[in-house]
Amino acid sequence: MSDIIKLLPDHVANQIAAGEVVQRPASVVKELLENAIDAGATSIKLMVKDAGKTLIQVIDNGKGMSMTDARMAFERHATSKITTAEDLFNLNTKGFRGEALASIAAVAHVEVKTKRDSDSLGTLLKIEGSKVTSQEPTVTAKGTMISVRNLFFNIPARRKFLKSDQVELRNITDEFHRVAMAHPSIQFSFDHNDNSLFQLPTSTLRQRVVNIMGPKSNEKLVPVEEETELINISGFVGKPEFARKSRGLQFFFVNDRFIKHSYFHHAVVSAFEGLLKDKAIPSYFLFLTVPADSVDINIHPTKTEVKFDDEHSLYAIIRASVKHALGQFSVQGIDFNLEQQYEVPYEVARQSQAEKPRIEVNLDFNPFKDSGASKVSNSNVGFTSFKKEKAPVWESLYSGMNQSTELIDETIHQEENPQLFQREEHQQKPIFQLQRKYIVSTLKSGLLLVNQQRAHERILFEQLSKQLSKNHAVSQQLLFPVKLNFAVQEVLQLKELENHLEGAGFVFKTLKDNVVEVEGVPLELNENDVRTVLESVLDSKVTSEKDTSQLSLQLAGQLSKSMSIKTGAILSVQEMETIINQLFSCSEPQLTPDHKKIFINMTSESLDSKFQ
């Protein structure tokens, strides 16, 4: 029997290794940007076409490579970052394994132009599926330009499982943010299909966060600064009132490397204890600096999961630092030096000199003399004339007793006019609101108790589901468009859902950069609630990765939940009747879209049993 274990060919091994490193176009962007930073670049340009499926190009002004280095960089396990195993415990660079470029070249067409400052000519290198097709001298500027075209051209199955352009572009944008935010001293630019998405100049950390997240984010940031022997913490947390129910604005960086750490995330959330709304998640941009030998970043291929030596102590320091920053922010919100002043009307403040008040007193006035009191002049300012009357004698209490008095019996009066009473009873509606939460109505069989918010949610869900399935809804045009500012990745997510949102009644005038301009909204939506509803859609993580029918149902469920009347709203009798009538016209009046009970029917028998 022959042996069955064989060595894989190099091109097959490279494709298998690429599966760990290159999962999607965003993975390529991350690796190329980090290589440019390690090369000492001060300016990095990222250009993408068709969400990275056609082209990913990174241009930097770093130190460049020689002809030999350019060729060796695409060999597996070839690196300039480490030489011994001990170097793995003292890493100060982004990449160090020597697998990224080899994995990218195994599944794409790669072209490299690079030149060192000391060389007169640079190097042009072309690779297709791990095979070098061309290597020759060329004229180029100092630095490196790497172009990755036709990703997964030789693995059709992998290419088929890529998501839509909007989803892949959002992932690329996330990676760009993570790299650019950690290096505010480097100039970055990001273009997609020849459209500029980001132009980030050299700036401070706060300016970099604001340039990425939008100008409105500046007022939402609370600075965090702490220095200890174990860790130095800097960065910002979002103010509690701006916390959202979705993740996405939570950034941890360790030694300028983005990481995900659920334990430290819990530390930040616990520092906001008592300050957040239900299920809200605070935003934060925290940079942790620790000794390189106290953290292990080599436990995951993407290097986003790391291991610390003393996580419990770091947890306590992070929690205390964030809590201290929030405490200082709360104290700064109170101005103890503010003097209480009266608000003077503008017309009065304009007068050059205030008129001096005058008081006139009648020196002859004597309140104990009746005659004197009656002679007081009406012309005296501040006084009015009066005549003191004699107090009535006690006999006046019995005046009128000799006249006949009739006592009116209200019950007799009501019986004399029974039609009026019956008419009032007929006009009274057997429906009322309980605790501004429930609608109570009487039935022939007993009592009906309806949760007003859940009932309205079910009504809106069925209306929106029909509108989304037909991709047509009636929209109310706004007199003045509502202009909203969102983060760029949130605008991309809304743009991804634009057609479906328009099917629900939204009309967008602008969806570009970090600006969203709304011209029309659904009939049931108040203009002041547009931002809240769109934020709820973003928080729900509704994406176009699902098929059309599932996406329509998911979007209708989220919109109905955010647009429905809330507990505490006061309803008129007519509004309550309308809700009940529309509810029982629904195909499923008993449950909400997320399967919660809407109403309870209490029969007369069940009511009678309560009194036994």
Q: What is the pLDDT of residue 320?
A: 94
Distance in angstroms (rounded) separating the CA atoms of residues 53 and 168: 9
Residue 135 contacts residue 119 (beta carbons within 8 Å): no
Q: What is the DSSP letter of 35?
A: H
- Decide if pLDDT at 374 tops 50: no
Distance in angstroms (rounded) separating the CA atoms of residues 146 and 496: 29
Q: What is the pLDDT of residue 544?
A: 57
Least-confidence region, from 155-159, 343-347, 486-490, 526-530: 343-347
> What whole-number percentage of the chain has pLDDT above 70?
78
Residue whose token pair is 């993740």: 247
Amino acid at 478: L
Least-confidence region, from 77-81, 331-335, 473-477, 558-562: 331-335
Residue 223 contacts residue 325 (beta carbons within 8 Å): yes
Amino acid at 569: A
CA distances from 444 to 402, 424, 575, 576, 583 (A): 57, 21, 21, 18, 18
Residue 455, sorted as left (phi over 0), alpha (psi -120 to 50) or beta, turns out to be alpha
For the residues 472-479, what does the mean pLDDT come to?
80
Written as one string, the DSSP assignment of 112-180 is: EEEE-TT-SSEEEEEEETTEEEEEEEE---SEEEEEEESTTTT-HHHHHT---HHHHHHHHHHHHHHHH
Q: What is the pLDDT of residue 502?
A: 85
Q: What is the pLDDT of residue 426?
A: 42
For the residues 472-492, what does the mean pLDDT come to?
82
CB within 8 A of 216, min separation 6: which ones? 485
* Cβ-based neighbour number of residue 538 at 10 Å: 21
More confident of the two residues 354 and 66: 66
Q: In 3-state terms, what secondary structure has residue 494?
A: helix
Written as one string, the DSSP assignment of 303-344 is: S---EES-HHHHHHHHHHHHHHHHHHHHHHTS-TTPPP----
Q: What is the pLDDT of residues 253-278, one digit of tens each?
A: 998 889 888 999 999 999 998 888 87
CATH numbers and ranges of domains, the chain: 10-200 (3.30.565.10), 207-330 (3.30.230.10), 441-601 (3.30.1370.100)
- pLDDT band, very low/low/confident/very high, at 442 (cuts 50, 70, 90): confident
Question: What are the tokens at 414?
Answer: 């009501």
Q: What is the DSSP letter of 504?
A: T
CA atoms 435, 436, 442, 446: torsion sign: negative
- Residue among 174, 183, 185, 220 nearest 490 (CA): 174
- Residue among 367, 259, 381, 244 nearest 311 (CA): 259
HSE-up of 542 (CA within 13 Å, CB side)? 26
For the residues 29-40, what does the mean pLDDT come to?
91
CB within 8 A of 256, min separation 6: which ones? 182, 183, 287
Q: What is the pLDDT of residues 378-435, one digit of tens each?
A: 444 444 444 445 555 555 555 555 554 444 444 444 444 444 444 444 444 588 899 8
> What whole-number percentage of the chain has pLDDT above 90?
31
Residue 602 contacts residue 611 (beta carbons within 8 Å): no
Residue whose token pair is 């700064």: 332
- pLDDT band, very low/low/confident/very high, at 521 (cuts 50, 70, 90): confident
Distance in angstroms (rounded) separating the CA atoms of residues 305 and 161: 25
State the virtual CA torsion across 289, 290, 295, 297 in degrees, nearest 10: 20
In DSSP terms, 431 is beta-bridged to 441
HSE-up of 588 (CA within 13 Å, CB side)? 14
- Residue among 192, 273, 272 nearest 237 (CA): 272
Q: What is the pLDDT of residue 404?
A: 46
Average pLDDT, the chain: 80
Q: What is the pLDDT of residue 337?
A: 52
Q: What is the pLDDT of residues 572-600, one digit of tens each?
A: 999 999 999 999 999 999 999 888 999 99
Q: What is the pLDDT of residue 300?
A: 65
Helix or strand (DSSP H, E) at 69: helix 67-72
HSE-up of 27 (CA within 13 Å, CB side)? 19
More confident of the two residues 553 and 417: 553
Q: What is the pLDDT of residue 115?
A: 93
Question: What are the tokens at 55?
Answer: 């082209």
- pLDDT band, very low/low/confident/very high, at 184 (cuts 50, 70, 90): very high
Q: What is the pLDDT of residues 3-29, one digit of tens each?
A: 788 787 776 777 766 666 788 899 999
- pLDDT band, very low/low/confident/very high, at 213 (cuts 50, 70, 90): confident
- Decide if pLDDT at 351 tops 80: no
pTM value is 0.68
- Decide if pLDDT at 341 tops 90: no
Q: What is the pLDDT of residue 530?
A: 86
Written as one string, the DSSP assignment of 252-302 is: EEETTEEE--HHHHHHHHHHTTTTS-TT-B--EEEEEE--GGGEE--SSTT
Written as one string, the DSSP assignment of 163-214 is: --HHHHHHHHHHHHHHHHHT-TTSEEEEEETTEEEEEE-S--HHHHHHHHH-
- Decide if pLDDT at 233 tops 70: yes
Q: What is the pLDDT of residues 88-142, one digit of tens each?
A: 556 666 665 567 888 888 889 999 999 999 899 999 999 998 889 999 999 999 9
Q: In 3-state terms, what secondary structure has residue 11?
A: helix
CA-derived radius of gyration, the chain:
37
